[in-house]
Structure 1
Amino acid sequence: MNRIEIPYYTGYFLRGIAMLMIIFVHSINEYSDYDSSWCRALMIPEYGCMGCSVFFFMSGYGLFRSLEKKRVNSSYLISHLLKLLSPFIAAFVIAYIVGELVPSSVTQITINDITAIFRLSMPSGIDMWFFKVILADYIVTILLFVIKLHAVQVIRIITILHVVFIAICYLNHIPLYWYCSNLLFPLGAIVSSASKARIQKMMIPALILSIIFFCIYYLGNVFLFTKVPIVIAGNLALCILLLFCIRVLSLHFKASWLEYIGKNSLYYYLFNVFVMLSIPSQGIHFLTYFIINVLITTLFVWMWKKMCS
């Protein structure tokens, strides 16, 4: 079957951009500028949600493309779990040591709970929702392939599970960031499995709707009119617009340093938690704070990769 191909370097580039957006919004929300009109005009408060959406979209696409080409069994699942859990455990241990050794007056660490590791949270109390959702996506998807279901059946099941998850979170007043972007994972899987002809047939109407929904999403953010359906639809629209740029306009993005961040994006997410908590933001510009966070996190990612090689 002739399918949509997103070049690996474009995928890593987009994941790199997504992770920088997440780190940036985590950095700037320490400052009063976060609530300013210029921040809303640039959609900076939504960078976390938008970055996660791009990450989930590319993860769904990449995982399904990989699983359809490999022999998937329980050993494959265990090896993937180790790849995901090992850096989390390393990040947790470092965060706990920092919390024990560095005075709280110097850092932003107020609690240091070692039992949080059993909740897949950081010792500082950060719940690591993004890591938990990605972990659940990978476990469920790989398990469905292990029991030899067809890719179309797997996509239907994970789509239903994500919709049910959104409904449960919404009805129980769970914070919006938990579920505003996770639907992009099955969308990435759909794009991975669908034929070029089918994508091409749906592209124009999907593009028109995406432009409309993203404009509504943008205006809602600027004028502080945020509703759950608008946010979810806006993030779906964002990734459809990206797909249009890649597929129809043949825009392929490439930058080696962004590819590095994208390829190791989960490491950046995990290690940046304790890095950010360890660096006081007072007295420095938010851009300086952001750059310091990225540079120090990159150092830890580099050391982790060296240890694992």
Structure 2
Amino acid sequence: MNFTKNDTSIVKGIAILIVIISHWYRYAAVESQFHFIYHLGFYGAALFSFMSGYGVYKSYANRGFYKNWMVKKILYVYIPYIIICVVANIVVYKYYKFDISFLWGAGKDFTMWYVPWIMMFYILFRLVYGLNISKITKNIMLIIAYYVITQSLISLTNISSVWYTCNGALVVGVIISEYTTITSKRKILMSMLLGIVSSMLFAYLGIVTDNKNYYCIHGWAVIISGVAFCISLYCLMIVLSNIIENTYLGNILASIGGISYYVYITHMKVLYFLSESNIIIFVILAIIIAYLVQKCFLKVKLVK
């Protein structure tokens, strides 16, 4: 069983809502009694990464490496991101108009690390899956190469969040997309239950080891917790897909998922102006701004 295109949009909608809500509580609601919610943000980031890995393999399986594959990834992913960051540096973060750290890192709003990392992943995926070798060998090469590269870059840039999202969920998304063979509801439910339990247990282990400064164990615990969460939600969507698709909630989530990337690259700029507002206004306005930005990019053919 595999995701439909609508399933993918629904999950992306869930992922981006988790991300932007966690960012609200991390940066705008520091004094709130719900400030702890920001800790859940890595689940959204892991899920977004998982769906990116899942999607890139499905695209490859259906179409192969079509003409200008990498060029189009840059055109549709990296160029809109650069445009938004440049405009934001001039209009929003006026004191940082000459900063270009967003080209390789998190930028001045500290959340944009995902885009340079996903571009690196696309390059690696293109190199590995372009080889004439077995699937298993490709997977092993992808895991090892991505692990070594990300750990090297993390040590240089000190961006620990990449450790527990892209490093695990991106690669697992590819593998799940390639090898999904679950056919019975019983197996799906068992996988979902195992994913939920594993996610909770390793999240707890991550909290305990972080407090005791066991950073290596903490890192691996959070990776596994995030990946387990992705797998459990993947199984849940397979079970509930037909039900959710026929509801208003499913339609809303799918619509948000369709513009999720644009929500991601613009929401912190919106938050900059709304830090004294409330979360409902922030979420609604972030979605509206992302929709308008997508329409602008559609006009100049920077959207698929």
Normalised by the size of structure 1, how large is the TM-score? 0.78
AA in 2 matched with 1:233:
I
Indicate conservation of the 8 Å contact 1:158/1:186, yes or no: yes
In the other structure, the counterpart of 2:8 is 11
The whole-number CA distance in structure 2 between the counterparts of 1:217 and 1:191 is 20
Give the number of aligned pairs. Answer: 290
Shift of 1:49: 0.9
Relative to its length, the structure with more helix (as a share) is 2
Shift of the 32–12 alpha-carbon distance from structure 1 to 2, 3 Å rule, reads: closer
In the other structure, the counterpart of 2:142 is 158
In the other structure, the counterpart of 2:253 is 258
Indicate conservation of the 8 Å contact 1:33/1:39, yes or no: yes
- Where does 1:34-73 land on structure 2 (aligned, <5 Å)? 36=33, 38-40=34-36, 44-72=37-65
| Larger RCO (CA within 8 A; separation ≥ 6) | 1
In the other structure, the counterpart of 1:91 is 84
Indicate conservation of the 8 Å contact 1:112/1:125, yes or no: no
Shift of the 301–224 alpha-carbon distance from structure 1 to 2, 3 Å rule, reads: farther
Shift of 1:51: 0.9
Shift of 1:174: 3.0
- Where does 1:1-309 land on structure 2 (aligned, <5 Å)? 4-32=1-29, 36=33, 38-40=34-36, 44-72=37-65, 75-99=68-92, 110-116=95-101, 118-119=103-104, 122=107, 124=108, 126=110, 128-165=112-149, 167-168=151-152, 174-182=158-166, 183-196=168-181, 206-207=191-192, 209-217=194-202, 219=204, 227-247=218-238, 249-252=239-242, 253-254=244-245, 255-277=250-272, 279-282=273-276, 284-308=277-301
AA in 2 matched with 1:23:
I
Shift of the 34–50 alpha-carbon distance from structure 1 to 2, 3 Å rule, reads: farther
- Partner SS, residue 138 of structure 2: helix
Shift of the 35–143 alpha-carbon distance from structure 1 to 2, 3 Å rule, reads: farther
The whole-number CA distance in structure 2 between the counterparts of 1:152 and 1:165 is 20
The whole-number CA distance in structure 2 between the counterparts of 1:114 and 1:173 is 16
Root-mean-square deviation (Å): 3.4
In the other structure, the counterpart of 1:102 is none
Shift of 1:53: 1.0
Shift of the 269–185 alpha-carbon distance from structure 1 to 2, 3 Å rule, reads: same
Shift of 1:21: 1.5
Question: Cα deviation per residue 1:155-199 (whole Å; 9 max; x = unaligned)?
Answer: 222222333356547777934312111111111111111151599
AA in 2 matched with 1:231:
V
The whole-number CA distance in structure 1 between the counterparts of 2:140 and 2:253 is 33
The whole-number CA distance in structure 1 between the counterparts of 2:296 and 2:279 is 26
AA in 1 matched with 2:287:
V
Question: Cα deviation per residue 1:130-153 (whole Å; 9 max; x = unaligned)?
Answer: 111111111211232334444433
Shift of 1:218: 5.3
Shift of 1:200: 8.5
Q: Which runs of 5+ in 2 are unaligned?
A: 212-217
The whole-number CA distance in structure 1 between the counterparts of 2:231 and 2:79 is 33
Residue range with higher mean Cα deviation, 5-14 or 62-71: 62-71
Normalised by the size of structure 2, how large is the TM-score? 0.79
Identity of aligned residues (%): 19
AA in 2 matched with 1:191:
I
- Partner SS, residue 69 of structure 1: helix
